[in-house]
Structure 1
């Protein structure tokens, strides 16, 4: 019984995990904010622009004033996470 509960909890966390959840404080629930008045408004970016920016932050080839902060934020995101975020936020 313990194993079933444990597996159910793990499955639920995986199923409902939202990679964008940690972004909401700075970028807004719908990507409508310019984070710290320095970033682009995410909802105005195309999916291709958003994905390129996230991958650029990961490899250090993209970013301005907030590059150091964003590199840490996106470090653990998978390609699937980035794609899901782009589908949710970008146009």
Structure 2
């Protein structure tokens, strides 16, 4: 039980650290501080998406299977993150 709690706390800390880095980074300029804006008037409003939809979209941008007009831009933004990082981040944004 103790190992599960430690693992959970560690995962939450990593997710919070990743989220802080992303929010403080390049996302805010297009999506807004609370992810309340349509990026460049074209994207979905991220804060209105579910955690699962956000994770799927981010992974899809990364592998090229998701996206519209801004697909190329987003692929570059998520390329450096692992799927686990993207899953963790998705839990900090949206519904």
What is the TM-score normalised by the length of structure 2? 0.72
Aligned length: 78
- Aligned pairs for 1:63-82 (under 5 A) are 63-82=67-86
Pairing partner for 2:30 from 14, 26, 38 = 26
Deviation, structure 1 residue 63: 0.3
Encode CA deviations 1:41-82: one digit per residue, 9 max, x unaligned.
Answer: 000100110000000001000000100111111110122321
- Is the counterpart of residue 42 in structure 1 residue 46 in structure 2? yes
Q: Distance in 2 between matches of 1:80 and 1:29?
A: 23
Structure 1 outlier segments of 4+, above 4 Å: 14-17
Task: Give the unaligned 5+ runs of structure 2.
Answer: 1-13
| Matched-pair contact (CA < 8 Å) for 1:26–1:36 | yes
The equivalent residue for 1:5 is none
For the pair shown, which has the larger CA radius of gyration, 1 or 2?
Answer: 1
What is the TM-score normalised by the length of structure 1? 0.75
Deviation, structure 1 residue 89: 1.2
| Matched-pair contact (CA < 8 Å) for 1:19–1:81 | no
Task: Give the unaligned 5+ runs of structure 1.
Answer: 1-13
Structure 1 pair 59/28, CA: closer, same or farther in 2 (3 Å)? same
